[in-house]
Structure 1
Amino acid sequence: MKKFASLLSLLILFSLSAFAQDPTGRITGVVKDSVTNEPVVGAYVAVSRNLPDAKPEYVTTDIDGKFSFSGLAKQAAYLVKVSYLSYKDASRTVTVQDDTQDVGTFQLSEAVANLKEIKVVGQVTAVQQKGDTTQFNAAAYKTNPDATSEDLIQKMPGITVANGTVTANGETVNRVLVDGKPFFGEDAALTLKSLPAEIVDKIEVFDKLSDQAQFTGFDDGNGQKTINIVTKADRKMGQFGKVFAGYGLDNRYQAGGNVSFFKGDQRISVIGLSNNINMQNFSSQDLIGVSGGGGGGRGGSGGGSAGNFLVGNQSGITGTNSFGLNYANKFGKKVDVTGSYFFNRTGNSNLQSMQQRFILPGDTDSTDQIYNENSRTNNTNANHRLNFRIEYNINKNNSLIVTPRLSFQDNNSASTKAGLNTLNGLRINSLDNSQRNATNAYNFNNDVLFRHSFEKKGRTLSVNLNTQLNDRNGLGNLYSKTMFFDSLGLAARGDTLDQESYTYSNGLTLGGNLIYTEPIGKNSQLQFNYGLTVSNSDSKKETYNMSFDENTYSDLDSLLSNTFDNRYVTNRAGIGYRYRKNSWSANFGLDFQNTGLYSQQLAPVNAKVDQSFTNLLPNFMLSYRSKTGTQFRTFFRSSTNQPSISQLQNVIDNSNPLALTAGNPDLKQEYRNSFNIRYSLAGAERPYNLNAMVFVTQTNNAIVNSTLIAQEPTKIVDGIILERGAKFTKPVNVDGSWNARTFLAYGKPIAPLKLNVNLTTGFNYVRSPGLINNISNYSNTYAVSQGLVVSSNVSENLDFTVSYSGNYNMVRNTIQPNLNNNYYTQGITGRVNWIFGKGFVVQSDVSNQSYRGLGEGYNRNFTLWNASIGKKFLKNNAGELKLTVFDILKQNNSITRNVTETYVQDVTNRVLTQYAMLTFTYTLRNFGKAPAPQNNRRRDFESGDMPGGGRGGRGGF
């Protein structure tokens, strides 16, 4: 490993010092309005060789209307073309003769001739397709003056926000950037809620490749669905934000705010929040030992799994105290720095009712086992999170990107639960359990990327080094009483556990990846890559029983204790071919991967696992993009997924004696094939936009659960007996896992009615394999979804939205067909924000939720209604006093259904009920003239023109 690190370090030093610069020229110019002579900000400038079939490269003008292209061949002729909404295109041909060739000023004239034509033709184009990016113009969507970026994007077709998760065209959005830069690290929730809609110029939705893939132009499969918020040019200088404080009945309170200081490239944002009304601001990094449940939050009523957007997703009632600081600046012409610190502390309490109906093989008349559980939990979670990104453009041929991330977590929880298993209506066992846990951990990740462009266009070298460290310690106490019943449902005997356990795990991963690209001809490029990853992880658990003689936890329980070491070594080498001509582009690649797994259990017995996996991993991409906004893309990739240390560690977890779990050291890696097709239509010449998607994933050696539900007392290992009705679960490898989704989004503005209409529909199919009492079961779930959003485009003073979402689900099992089930969930929501008179404000939102087919006690229909009335005052209506009533009808509920290959589960959680609150809000708006940026260049390579690859402007050269 030391030799490997030394070799990569030498490569970096050699690249920094030895490569010569490219003797090329650049083109500069400026774009202005022909009437006002004011600079045109954000105009698209395309530069292409003045040859047949030559493809352009793009930049946009800065706040002074200036643009610049570099890396151009001298003595070559280029066509420069400028285009912008509502203006006529302008173009001219220029030959690069000097190091810097100034093409002068482009004077753009309006595309319409008179006011009558402006009323018809001059309407803002809502959506455009710019290469691989879908671009929404914020001006086409009216929002109220106090709206956030989150309020704005929910009006845009194909984008939804539900249960704290943002999706774009059926895919979960993982990152939100501001002007191409991170904001509060990668915490999308903070970004959307912190930035006001009034500073947004455009919303861009695209698949952001990794920094290395952006540079090479070859998709490495590590891309993320991303939203980029482009701010208005006249909002890049000044201070803005809001602060608020409120108090209400039942001692409900909220206080907080966010303030941003923008001064060109320097941007500082501060955010704070304190409340006990379920306003939550955190990402998955902030949650350790905390599960993100479904709904029940501040206005939430439905289910949903935890994702990267976890605002309002934690079940129960949560009090939050948080503080954040974000900083971004450009130092000189070569260094860009972004960094953030975020602290979050939450206290959560929840009451939960759960029912699991098990899918058991055998006679369906005698295998109706049901588990009911009521629980109370309280937990406190504290998190510190630091993120930095430093981009150093050493010169036009070399750059360095360093991205360190560090987080600390501290969690304390306490829970009590009472559970009962019944079989055909008769009791078989019951549980009375109390548990306390204290956990602390840290995670560190650092990524270093060096990129070099040779003199020959398309010839590049990039080296990526990655370090990951994690450490976790835990202390837990368990006191449990279990009662077992005979065949008549009468009490037979009971067991008591009184234990204390210590857990410890750490991990270190070192990885490196080297990629070299070489052009072959005018339209083709080869890529050669090699990567090495070494991952070591250790875990230890010690469980002690209460010694009643000494009244301490001193008796080591060797059956529930374990020491485990694990090491993965992965070598991966491959070759790729890239072709691009006209509107078509294609990538082909094949990687050879060898993974060695070495695991050793040191206690309570010594056991070893030594395995090797060899795989061929093909990938393929075909893309078509027309000038009119039509886009088609199909993509296939094979990949592997390694089991985690918790899945490998063979130690019994008895935190619920009726539901024991353990890992499996014999697990193999998963082999996954992913295929997707995307088709979109968008453009200024169309009165609508359309997105269609198909996603299919097939997994061999899928890591799934094998569950043993004892029909009679069964020995798991020596000394541990699984009593009748209890279950034991461990992970195993099974083939036959499928996940297929289709998604269709259609958006159209209805100008005469001043409305935006967005329609979505989809079909999902999930095939989940599993083992139940050593018999294979395949749970097949078919789901049809339909969504409709009608939003206003009337004015800033009247903003309303009406939406409908419905999901019809069909569940079919290969065993226990009596548990096959059809169920339907539906939500109808209406929101209105009306500003009238002399600053009076009325806000109201009504949501009706309907659940059918979930089973007795879970079929519900309820309406959540919140409303407020307020008055704006002070200069520029900066102040507002508002009275809000939450859950006026006292019907708020939380319901979740989860279908697995082993059971069907229905859950209800504690929710926030009716309260009234008086809140004062002060809005800061102080904008000035933005200063000229320092070489604030943004290059978007449509289709990823060589050498810089796709989306060079968001991390590439």
Structure 2
Amino acid sequence: MKILFSSALLILCMALPGFVQAQTAQITGTVLDSTSRSPVVGAYVAVSRNTPDAKPEYVTTDVNGKFLVTGLSKESYRVKVSYLSYKDSERVIKILDDVQNTGTFLLSEAISNLKEVKVIGQVAATEQKGDTTQFNAAAYKTNPDATTEDLIQKMPGITVINGTVTAHGETVNKVLVDGKPFFGDDAALTLKSLPAEIVDKIEVFDKLSDQSAFTGFDDGTGQKTINIVTKANRRVGQFGKVYAGYGLDDRYQAGGNMSFFNKNQRISIIGLTNNINVQNFSNQDLLGVSGSSGGGGGARGGAGGAGGASSNFLVGNQSGLTGTNSFGLNYANKFGEKVDVTGSYFFNRTSNNNFQNTNQDYYGKQLYKESNTSGSTNTNHRLNFRVEYAIDKKNMLIFTPRLSFQNNQSGTVKDGFTSLSNGSAVNSTATDQSNKNHGYNFTNDLLFRHSFDKKGRTLSFNLNTQINDKSGNGQLYSKNQYFTNLEMPGDTIDQRNYTSSNALSLGGNLVYTEPISSTGQLQFNYGLTVSNSNSDKETYNNVLPDGSSYTQLDSLLSNSFDNRYTTNRAGIGYRYRKNNWSGNVGIDFQNTGLYSQQLSPINEKVDHTFTNFLPNLMLTYRSKSGTQFRTFFRSSTNQPSISQLQNVVDNSNPLSLTAGNPNLKQEYRNTMNMRYSIAGANHPYSLNAMIFVTQTNNAIVNSTLIAQQPTTLPSGIVLEQGAKLTAPINMDGSWNARTLIAYGKPISKIKLNVNLTSGFNYVRAPGMINNVSNFSNTYAYSQGLVLSSNISEKLDFTASYSGNYNVVRNSIQPTLNNNYFTSSITGRVNWIFGKGFLFQSDVNNQSYRGLGAGYNQNFTLWNASFGKKFLKNNAGELKLTVFDILKQNNSIARNVTETYVQDVTSRVLTQYAMLTFTYTLRNFGKMPTNNNSERRRDFDGMGGGFPGGGGGRPGGGGPGSF
């Protein structure tokens, strides 16, 4: 496989120069505020031939105020720049070179405030700017109270489901506001906090790391990102809302958000308290201490899924009944000409109660059913900080520390029962478990960037640090029965355990770039990473009947383990860019040393060395009409975690034990991604198509041993008949492929936006059951349709359909192959009528077919509200809401893995009514004049990349035009 990919890489590299024939010219420039010299983000730039009646082409400026127009000929063009609250600026440019820089356009504020703006010429709802898809908010009508989350769900290819934001089939990990972080990396929180009325544009792109954005070479660590570009006349003022409500069954909610914007200085505050399952925290709240008592195998999920204990603290994934108390503060400012600062603090405390029924089918080997009642309380403090310091025009420092603290308490009472496929009983358990855990996590990146006098020649060094420490204790009391073991029909476990783990990782990466022609650039890189971690677990048995003495060490369930990784990586890359074509190709050599040592109960050592060649390739074509094609290939490795390596048994469920495997190897992954998109003023529609394929060698998967009779494991633990032991192993043959097509088109005659999505997912998950290899193949076909209104701000409605047909095939028991279907039909309406009256309603029908017995469902969740707006400018609102009018709310999830198929039903929030008062503040003023500190930094060679490099990426681009 490595030889095949390397050969293909070489062929593509040799063929690359042939792709760049018949090039055309391009215009690039910068738009700044004439007073502050800060970039004007989202300004319209109209470029047309300098002839009568020439049709203009429209582009917009990115967060650096830069614009790029490609596909031009060497002649004269008229360039006109316009934006809200500014006077137009226009000039004639004659193109003499392949890349013609227009210089800087300085826009001055209009004398009078404009209440209504007429745009001459039609600007497309969707545009493709470089590698950025840009949506113009004015093309999508929302009601006056809409949030940015409401707005973006009207845009093709963007969805928000249970707090998870996806764009063009990929999860959005970052949401920026005018190119700056907002509440860390919490995408859902940012979208809920900003009103739609301040949004001018939405930009969707793959954000490169700071080092990659500087060099222009994609290092494969980019994240799908949304940048919210605010309106120029909404960047000074105060806005937000506060609300409070109370209802039946003591249901309550209160909270609000408030933002104070003064151009570069921005302060936002948010808070909430409720017991109606409203949650707004992110993956950063997870520290790995959420109820787990240690050990554990590397589980792999399939379609859907309920997850493990940690999933209780993921956005949108927490089932049951949840009460939340949270507070957040975000700050951004610019000090003088050299320092940009952003930071946020977020506090979150949640209490959850849940009841679940679980059904697991181990592909015909046996069945396991469980009912459990659980409760947990999680408290988290999270701090994020970023400082950009421009030392001078050639040198810059970026400092990005992040710190989080977490405390968690949880308790679970479960009853489990195992049977054979013929229904005969094997074993059962009644377990009561509790855990207390706490810990912290600290990460930091320090990046130094230097640009030489020769454009394209750069040097950058990144130093990263990661420290985490966690500890906890737990108690387990379990009564177990073994129906087929006459000698030992049952036993009782009464234990306490104490766990601790800590890790330190230090890494550095040095990158040097050198231009070798007007269109080509070389990169040389070297990186070194050293990671040390250790994990200890001590388990004690109770020796007295009254449960007062946990003094007997259980050596079979105790373990002390140390682990060290040392990685050296060096590589070379070549980057080419000219007009519409760009690409880079490279290869890295990586040497990784793994040293693991088990210190107790026995002393064992593992010493491995891994050597890999990691090729990469990226090729992009962009046309002036808005068509873009991009293909990307990269090889990478993934190291097993210390919990996967630590050979200690976790018996929190005595019928389903888990353990680590110190002999695990690193995974080797080949990833290919192809995208094709059409957007822009020349097209009445937008189209995004994507193919994403990952193939993994030495994939870390699960091996499950189901005891056919009492079996003594190598560790000395006896596995009773029907009990299971799951541990991670390495296997080849893992594939994951996804395709997605998203089509969006406004229908002006009936004032509707139509969005169609079609997708296909294929997952081939290897695993092992009783030392027999099993390959679970899941084929998922999806189809979606969204109709959203564009009628007026007073009537806003959305209707959608989503269907998923899943086919599961496995190699062990073909007779257990399964097809199942899920669908969702949703309707939502917001209507403001009369003298401030409002009606809101949403209906969601969920259907499940082909699941396990008792899990097929068809239910409808209907919520409705009626209210009245009052006070000046309708700032006040009183609203009565009824939740789950039909009393049909339900929660079902299916999870397909390499060793079992699982169906789960969970407790849900049932019908209630609530009366809520909301006060909305909107106070926007004219931008103040500031002659002191708003001048934009303009580094020689920084932030521009190849001409127009970076498209609309905030901070995008590379080290200067050459």
Change (3 A) 1:767 1:27: closer
Structure 2 counterparts to residues 107-126 of structure 1, below 5 A: 122-126=121-125
CA distance in 1, matches of 2:579, 2:949: 17
Partner secondary structure for residue 227 of structure 1: strand
Residue of structure 2 in register with 1:164 after alignment: 163
Residue of structure 1 in register with 2:707 after alignment: 710
Residue of structure 1 in register with 2:454 after alignment: 456
- Tell me which amino acid in the other structure corresponds to 2:506: L
Following superposition, the deviation at residue 27 of structure 1 comes to: 8.7
Following superposition, the deviation at residue 375 of structure 1 comes to: 0.1
CA distance in 2, matches of 1:107, 1:402: 34
Following superposition, the deviation at residue 264 of structure 1 comes to: 1.0
CA distance in 2, matches of 1:525, 1:863: 58
Partner secondary structure for residue 616 of structure 1: strand
Structure 2 counterparts to residues 40-439 of structure 1, below 5 A: 42-43=42-43, 60=61, 81-82=79-80, 90-93=91-94, 122-288=121-287, 289-290=289-290, 310-360=314-364, 367=365, 369-423=366-420, 424-439=422-437
1:512 aligns with 2:516: no
**Does the Cα contact within 8 Å between 1:459 and 1:516 map onto a contact in 2?**
yes
Following superposition, the deviation at residue 152 of structure 1 comes to: 0.5
Following superposition, the deviation at residue 165 of structure 1 comes to: 1.2
Following superposition, the deviation at residue 43 of structure 1 comes to: 2.4
Matched length = 882
**Does the Cα contact within 8 Å between 1:459 and 1:947 map onto a contact in 2?**
no
Partner secondary structure for residue 192 of structure 1: helix
Partner secondary structure for residue 489 of structure 2: strand
Following superposition, the deviation at residue 851 of structure 1 comes to: 0.2
CA distance in 2, matches of 1:942, 1:125: 27
- Tell me which amino acid in the other structure corresponds to 1:136: F
Following superposition, the deviation at residue 94 of structure 1 comes to: 10
Following superposition, the deviation at residue 945 of structure 1 comes to: 1.1
Gaps of 5+ in 1: 1-25, 33-38, 48-55, 70-76, 110-114, 293-301, 361-366
**Does the Cα contact within 8 Å between 2:175 and 2:186 map onto a contact in 1?**
yes
**Does the Cα contact within 8 Å between 1:215 and 1:948 map onto a contact in 2?**
no
**Does the Cα contact within 8 Å between 1:482 and 1:494 map onto a contact in 2?**
yes
User: When the two structures are superposed, what TM-score results if normalisation uses the length of structure 2?
Assistant: 0.87
Following superposition, the deviation at residue 221 of structure 1 comes to: 0.3
- Tell me which amino acid in the other structure corresponds to 2:620: S
User: When the two structures are superposed, what TM-score results if normalisation uses the length of structure 1?
Assistant: 0.87
Following superposition, the deviation at residue 492 of structure 1 comes to: 6.2
> Which moved further from structure 2: 381-390 or 930-939?
930-939
**Which residue, out of 576, 588, 593, partners 2:590?**
593
CA distance in 1, matches of 2:496, 2:108: 77
- Tell me which amino acid in the other structure corresponds to 2:599: L
CA distance in 2, matches of 1:334, 1:386: 23
Partner secondary structure for residue 548 of structure 1: coil
CA distance in 2, matches of 1:210, 1:57: 29
**Does the Cα contact within 8 Å between 1:214 and 1:950 map onto a contact in 2?**
no
CA distance in 2, matches of 1:230, 1:177: 9
Partner secondary structure for residue 518 of structure 2: coil
- Tell me which amino acid in the other structure corresponds to 2:480: T
Change (3 A) 1:949 1:459: farther
Residue of structure 2 in register with 1:474 after alignment: 472
- Tell me which amino acid in the other structure corresponds to 2:469: D
Change (3 A) 1:735 1:507: same
- Tell me which amino acid in the other structure corresponds to 2:515: P
Following superposition, the deviation at residue 930 of structure 1 comes to: 1.8
> Which moved further from structure 2: 630-639 or 580-589?
580-589
Structure 2 counterparts to residues 539-938 of structure 1, below 5 A: 539-548=535-544, 551-931=548-928, 934-936=934-936
Following superposition, the deviation at residue 123 of structure 1 comes to: 4.9
**Does the Cα contact within 8 Å between 1:67 and 1:937 map onto a contact in 2?**
no
Partner secondary structure for residue 752 of structure 1: coil
Partner secondary structure for residue 190 of structure 1: helix
CA distance in 2, matches of 1:254, 1:311: 18
Change (3 A) 1:913 1:61: closer
Following superposition, the deviation at residue 161 of structure 1 comes to: 1.1
- Tell me which amino acid in the other structure corresponds to 1:195: L
CA distance in 2, matches of 1:534, 1:704: 25
Following superposition, the deviation at residue 60 of structure 1 comes to: 3.5
Change (3 A) 1:187 1:504: same
Following superposition, the deviation at residue 93 of structure 1 comes to: 4.9
C-alpha deviations, 1:23-71, integer Å up to 9, x for none? Answer: xxx9987799xxxxxx997325699xxxxxxxx9998399xxx9799xx
Residue of structure 1 in register with 2:20 after alignment: none
CA RMSD of aligned residues (A): 3.3
Partner secondary structure for residue 234 of structure 1: helix
**Does the Cα contact within 8 Å between 1:131 and 1:943 map onto a contact in 2?**
no
**Does the Cα contact within 8 Å between 1:514 and 1:529 map onto a contact in 2?**
yes
CA distance in 1, matches of 2:938, 2:882: 47
Partner secondary structure for residue 954 of structure 1: coil
CA distance in 2, matches of 1:290, 1:696: 32
- Tell me which amino acid in the other structure corresponds to 2:92: S
CA distance in 2, matches of 1:131, 1:932: 33
CA distance in 1, matches of 2:627, 2:828: 34
Following superposition, the deviation at residue 190 of structure 1 comes to: 1.1
Following superposition, the deviation at residue 776 of structure 1 comes to: 0.3
**Does the Cα contact within 8 Å between 2:451 and 2:942 map onto a contact in 1?**
no
Gaps of 5+ in 2: 1-27, 48-56, 68-74, 111-115, 293-303
Change (3 A) 1:68 1:171: closer
Following superposition, the deviation at residue 685 of structure 1 comes to: 1.6
Following superposition, the deviation at residue 313 of structure 1 comes to: 2.1
Following superposition, the deviation at residue 935 of structure 1 comes to: 2.6
**Does the Cα contact within 8 Å between 2:129 and 2:952 map onto a contact in 1?**
no
Change (3 A) 1:573 1:67: closer
CA distance in 1, matches of 2:306, 2:370: 20
Following superposition, the deviation at residue 881 of structure 1 comes to: 0.3
Partner secondary structure for residue 189 of structure 1: helix
C-alpha deviations, 1:356-384, integer Å up to 9, x for none? Answer: 01125xxxxxx4x1110000000000000
- Tell me which amino acid in the other structure corresponds to 1:774: N
CA distance in 1, matches of 2:396, 2:40: 30
**Does the Cα contact within 8 Å between 1:215 and 1:950 map onto a contact in 2?**
no
CA distance in 1, matches of 2:434, 2:474: 6
Following superposition, the deviation at residue 290 of structure 1 comes to: 4.0
CA distance in 2, matches of 1:356, 1:169: 33
Change (3 A) 1:551 1:593: same
CA distance in 1, matches of 2:488, 2:311: 44
**Does the Cα contact within 8 Å between 2:132 and 2:952 map onto a contact in 1?**
no
- Tell me which amino acid in the other structure corresponds to 2:357: S
C-alpha deviations, 1:639-686, integer Å up to 9, x for none? Answer: 000000000000011111100111000000000000011000001121
CA distance in 1, matches of 2:59, 2:637: 36
Following superposition, the deviation at residue 819 of structure 1 comes to: 1.5
- Tell me which amino acid in the other structure corresponds to 1:504: S
Following superposition, the deviation at residue 284 of structure 1 comes to: 1.2
Following superposition, the deviation at residue 600 of structure 1 comes to: 0.5
Change (3 A) 1:309 1:148: farther
**Does the Cα contact within 8 Å between 1:586 and 1:623 map onto a contact in 2?**
yes
**Which residue, out of 535, 543, 556, partners 2:531?**
535
- Tell me which amino acid in the other structure corresponds to 1:877: N
**Does the Cα contact within 8 Å between 2:539 and 2:553 map onto a contact in 1?**
yes
C-alpha deviations, 1:63-115, integer Å up to 9, x for none? Answer: xxx9799xxxxxxx99994456999985335999xxx9987778999xxxxx9
**Does the Cα contact within 8 Å between 1:706 and 1:730 map onto a contact in 2?**
yes
- Tell me which amino acid in the other structure corresponds to 1:439: N
Following superposition, the deviation at residue 552 of structure 1 comes to: 1.0
